[in-house]
Chains A and B, each alone.
Chain A
Amino acid sequence: EPEVTQTPSHQVTQMGQEVILRCVPISNHLYFYWYRQILGQKVEFLVSFYNNEISEKSEIFDDQFSVERPDGSNFTLKIRSTKLEDSAMYFCASSEGTGSEKLFFGSGTQLSVL
């Protein structure tokens, strides 16, 4: 069964450093998303991406965040200068023809900012 894959599964970084989280969405999907989940809390929307541009972003997704689809298969989330409060599980998701319906999620990258 096709699945969304994310790498790395764990990322430890120092405050102020840049991190790039990587995702390979399901191949025939057109919509891509990043969500995050702070331990024990709900899943929070960060950004949606379609046709090589951001469709929508939340207020969490400030200037420190950026997304990119550098080639036909990868979808990345970059945090330019990490803060302690960026520590969370980051989930990539994708969906096919109709946006923001039936999202398929990856297993996540656990980001720890020290």
Chain B
Amino acid sequence: GESVGLHLPTLSVQEGDNSIINCAYSNSASDYFIWYKQESGKGPQFIIDIRSNMDKRQGQRVTVLLNKTVKHLSLQIAATQPGDSAVYFCAEKDQAGTALIFGKGTTLSVSS
């Protein structure tokens, strides 16, 4: 079946460090992946997305890496700031192509 998951439920880093949040997916036919950030009491906020014909995509301070061989997705945050503290979800387009399926989330805590 379809499932998207994350390796670690929590990640604690120091301000200024680089953070890496990982996600494993099971549907090898998935052609679209996306990362969301969710702050307490708010809805998921788009960070960055990537299609399966790419291995890497960069945004402002964030990079998403896609390894289709091992069905692994990661989000790298450079120079992590306290404002980056949130729950991070990866999601993939489902087999029908009309819904995003979310993983369980990683809580990132940044201490200064």
List residues of chain A with CB under 8 Å of any chain B CB.
4, 31, 33, 35, 41-45, 48, 50, 55-56, 58, 91, 93, 99-108
Contact = CB atoms under 8 A, between A and B. Distances in A.
A65 to B, nearest CB: 15
Interface stretch (B10-18, B62-70, B92-100): B92-100
B93 A45 contact: no
B38 to A, nearest CB: 8
A40 B42 CA distance: 13
Contacts of B99: 33, 45, 48, 56, 58, 100
B43 A99 contact: no
A101 B32 contact: yes
Given A42-B104, A43-B89, A100 B44 contact: no
Interface in B84-110: 89, 91, 93-94, 96-105
Nearest to B97: A100
A101 to B, nearest CB: 6
A103 B98 contact: no
B43 to A, nearest CB: 4
A55 B32 CA distance: 18
B34 interface: yes
B32 to A, nearest CB: 6
Nearest to A95: B100
B32 A105 contact: no
A20 B12 CA distance: 39
A102 B34 contact: yes
B111 to A, nearest CB: 22
Contact of A103 (B38, B46, B97, B105): B46
B89 A100 contact: no
Given A100-B93, A103-B34, 15 more contacts: A42-B103, A42-B104, A44-B102, A48-B99, A56-B99, A58-B99, A91-B44, A93-B43, A99-B97, A99-B98, A101-B49, A102-B34, A103-B46, A104-B46, A108-B43
